[in-house]
Chains A and B, each alone.
Chain A
């Protein structure tokens, strides 16, 4: 009941604080939209070159927004590819389609592959002419320019959802708890029979309810409105987002104990948030010194980002994210315990 009272109070405060609500709900959407514009732009229409037998794909690809250029000789097409006139060149030899991607622009790569997949799927469904059905066989994909690195940019979306959720919840929870201390209400709470762990759980529940909505909104917006690639299950995305919120919340309230005012809470951003963003896998970690990689393994965002990438890009399920889920839960629990201990500073019992 006492936890319920605390939860209710936090919810009421949120409802009265429109700006904070906006920060929690609208700001992440705004930044994600901006990012999606910068990195994604509008749906890209790929230029696809076809040579020889591949010409049969022309109609199917056109239907999926691809612009088709036909080349009679393969050399001609390769030249166009090198000159950047087309994004991909498709040829068919021995029944296996061969796709060469220009490779320097991940957006274009994705657009080509998407068009190709959709075209192939259409044909499977309608069971068209034999010659065309063969195309649905797994195509051989190669990159004209090394592209393994380029996938990093592809990974921005899912990771950034995690980053923003973490960032905003960290900040808001931290500042709320800090205010509780600086306005004296924490001392007042501690003059009631409320137990220290009840305060922590009350905060987790109060914020938890809000972060459920936040996670729901951000995930939905990213996938449905921004069209960020989503191969896996929405439920898992929600779960990971929520768990990230919980770690951010508990870490934020914990660190607020070491901040004297709001500005000092902001000062934690370059210390706690920014390094996590750099080390969470957004940029390749392999090139970093080993100790720095290890630091990355100690941050919640790393596991959040890993899980989000696995779900949204690789379309993986529970087995792939289970470890991340358990680790994020562990992070939250550890931070919660530390919170309870940190409150000892204010009341020993």
Chain B
């Protein structure tokens, strides 16, 4: 067990849009240098939750602490590498222009910037397409470029909203390898997914459905506790649907 203070502490969060309650009484902890997966079907509130972690949005009640600081806090944003669910890229610009732009926003100086751009594009396997305009990119390439941008400033915490959607299995493998390597170097990763088999690769999982956290544990423990043979089965178990 990791003895250090958790990187993220979420306590009793509630969030509603108008009268629609999207998150209800969510509490969880994310430890340093682990990959924490938020697993849940589409519309369960994953995106809403990770946005609350960054501080872009605020909870109606409850508290979020990230890296020892109460969210929302502007200075915290430079510690977080965020990858939104939709690719937020300037499509009329080249990948390089996009990377340079975001690198400057994070305050990277010129030499550092060029070095990092090269490194992150290698990680996502796009180094040949650096000068291509983003509107000539395929969906999977855009996803990878978004990931590269999140990695640019070497943040201690990565928050990735469905990072592997639309990426083919081979590349997905290599991206997972990179994420694990980042964990080894001390980077904490929170990611969301609705793909069950991907969830098994996370160190720990939070299962979320209709805005409620069903369970939070390692994949192995979740399987054991529910007597399931797959994460999918475990999810159904907690969701109250027994097969």
Partners in one complex: yes
The answer, yes or no, to whether B181 is at the interface (CB within 8 Å) is no
The answer, yes or no, to whether B137 is at the interface (CB within 8 Å) is no
A13-B93, A193-B106 known; A187+B101 contact, CB < 8 A:
no
CA distance A193 to B79 in the complex (A): 9
Across the interface, B77 reaches (CB within 8 A) one of A6, A9, A187, A191, namely A191
The answer, yes or no, to whether B233 is at the interface (CB within 8 Å) is no
Work out how many contacts link A and B, with CB atoms closer than 8 A: 78
B226 to chain A, nearest CB (A): 35
A9-B97, A192-B106 known; A185+B90 contact, CB < 8 A:
yes
- The interface size of chain A toward B, counting residues with CB under 8 Å, comes to 27
Per-residue CB proximity of A108-128 to B under 8 Å, as 1/0? Answer: 000000000000000000000
The answer, yes or no, to whether B67 is at the interface (CB within 8 Å) is no
Per-residue CB proximity of A169-188 to B under 8 Å, as 1/0? Answer: 00000000000000111011
B116 to chain A, nearest CB (A): 15
Q: Is the CB of A13 within 8 A of B92?
A: yes
The answer, yes or no, to whether B177 is at the interface (CB within 8 Å) is no
User: Which residues of B are found within 8 Å of A348, using beta-carbon distances?
Assistant: 58, 72
The residue on B at minimum CB distance from A190 is B56
CA distance A184 to B77 in the complex (A): 17
User: Which residues of A are found within 8 Å of B82, using beta-carbon distances?
Assistant: 188, 191
A1-B104, A9-B97, A191-B82 known; A17+B92 contact, CB < 8 A:
yes
Across the interface, B104 reaches (CB within 8 A) one of A4, A16, A185, A187, namely A4
Name the residue among B73, B88, B91 with the largest chain A CB count within 10 angstroms: B88
The residue on B at minimum CB distance from A191 is B82
A219 to chain B, nearest CB (A): 29
A60 to chain B, nearest CB (A): 59
The answer, yes or no, to whether B105 is at the interface (CB within 8 Å) is yes
Q: Is the CB of A191 within 8 A of B104?
A: no
The answer, yes or no, to whether A2 is at the interface (CB within 8 Å) is yes
CA distance A346 to B106 in the complex (A): 19
CA distance A8 to B104 in the complex (A): 10
The residue on A at minimum CB distance from B105 is A192
User: Which residues of B are found within 8 Å of A349, using beta-carbon distances?
Assistant: 55, 72-74
Please name 25 pairs of A and B residues whose Cβ atoms are closer than 8 Å in the assembled complex, sorted by A: A2-B105, A4-B104, A5-B100, A5-B104, A9-B90, A9-B97, A13-B90, A16-B133, A183-B88, A183-B89, A183-B91, A184-B87, A185-B90, A187-B56, A187-B84, A187-B88, A188-B84, A191-B54, A192-B78, A192-B105, A193-B78, A347-B56, A347-B57, A347-B72, A348-B72
Closest 8 A/B residue pairs (Cβ): A5-B104, A188-B88, A184-B88, A191-B82, A184-B86, A192-B105, A185-B88, A16-B92
